[in-house]
Homo-oligomer: A and B are copies of this chain.
Amino acid sequence: MDDNLLAASIPMKWVGPIKISGNVADIETAVPLATFESPLWPSVQRGAKISMATETGVTATLIDERMTRSILLEAATAASAYVAVRQITSSTAQLREVAATSSRFIELVGMRPEVIGNLIFLRFEFTTGDASGHNMVTLAADLLMRHILETVPGVSYGSISGNYCTDKKASAVNGILGRGKNVVAELLVPRATVADVLRTSAARIATLNVRKNLIGSIVAGGIRTANAHYANMLLAFYLATGQDAANIVEGSQGITHVEDRDGDLYFSCTLPNLIVGSVGNGKRLDFVEANLTRLGCREVRDVGDGARRLAVIAAATVLCGELSLLAAQTNPGELMQAHVRLERELVSGH
């Protein structure tokens, strides 16, 4: 292996400011987006502009937070697996203590077993402070696994991860049982702003959302996903803030819900699986430090506040880009013209 550490320099810009309110933060902040796809910047910028033109901006509500790891245990039969599961679930208090020994920032907050034939998939749910928690939950799961193997008769090691966690895979479980921060971002855009800035109407965006994001995603065999391009904004934000960006796989599984409220536009993005942290892997890099600091995620505060602030900013950023693209797609040709215009500007050095 080449020992020289190189760098992939992904183009990055600060876009915004976005006005954000809600149960985690009331702020106006620009956001850093690292991407090869330069049209993303003006797209998010347009949404940000709209947020600033409203009174409360994007309201981002944190609904839940937890990080998960599932272990896999093997029993001889389902009958004995069931006995083991009953013993495990009845010793929750002890398991919480075991988990707590692995880190002072981790707490076991839930557990869900599934018995499939003679196999047990045991999904642990933790809070992990300001870390996204990938490594913390693996370490805790390792201790929990050992404890179970020592105290519960009739089960043996299957795998430290049984894919029921599930990390970076397209599935339903993370949306239904929770993994990462669950945030709903929403924005009420006055009719005039919809017309002037977005050159469309609430009715047309609502109709497009039903046809494209809801029906189109269902027709595509989508799983718990109904949006136009959450993955784009998440990738750019995750890269700029040192996140494990492979988590856009589940992060992108969110739902855009739109209502035409007498001409005003109610626009919401529900993102149940934002896996972000303000500490941990990748956060010590200079540009990441600088970005997290500028976003206000590095100030002294309660444990977990940094990660929660990141999550609501991520969600608001997603909303800005999603709103902009959907608005554009209500107008025939607009998307293509924007692309062509941007390409020209890039070539001519603008």
Q: Is the CB of A218 within 8 A of B226?
A: yes
* Chain B residues, CB < 8 A from A288: 8
* Chain B residues, CB < 8 A from A252: 168-170, 246, 249
* Chain B residues, CB < 8 A from A72: 211-212, 216
Is A266 interfacial (CB 8 A cutoff)? yes
- Interface size on A, as a range, is 35 or more
Partner of A166, one of B42, B222, B243: B222
Q: Is the CB of B11 within 8 A of A223?
A: no
Using CB atoms, name the residue of chain B closest to A14: B2
- Residues facing B in A147-173 (CB within 8 A) are 157-173
Using CB atoms, name the residue of chain B closest to A22: B79
Q: Is the CB of B211 within 8 A of A231?
A: no
What is the count of identical protomers in the complex? 4
* Chain B residues, CB < 8 A from A170: 170-171, 222-225, 249, 252-253
Using CB atoms, name the residue of chain B closest to A340: B139
Chain A interface secondary structure, helix, strand, loop or mixed?
mixed
Q: Is the CB of B218 within 8 A of A224?
A: yes
A11 to B227, CA, bound (A): 31
Q: Is the CB of A1 within 8 A of B176?
A: no
Is A189 interfacial (CB 8 A cutoff)? no
Partner of A184, one of B117, B216, B246, B281: B117
- Residues facing B in A1-40 (CB within 8 A) are 1-2, 4-16, 22-23, 30, 32, 34, 36-38
Q: Which one of A190-198, A232-240, A300-308 contacts B?
A: A232-240
In the complex, what's the smallest C-beta–C-beta distance from A50 to chain B, in angstroms? 14
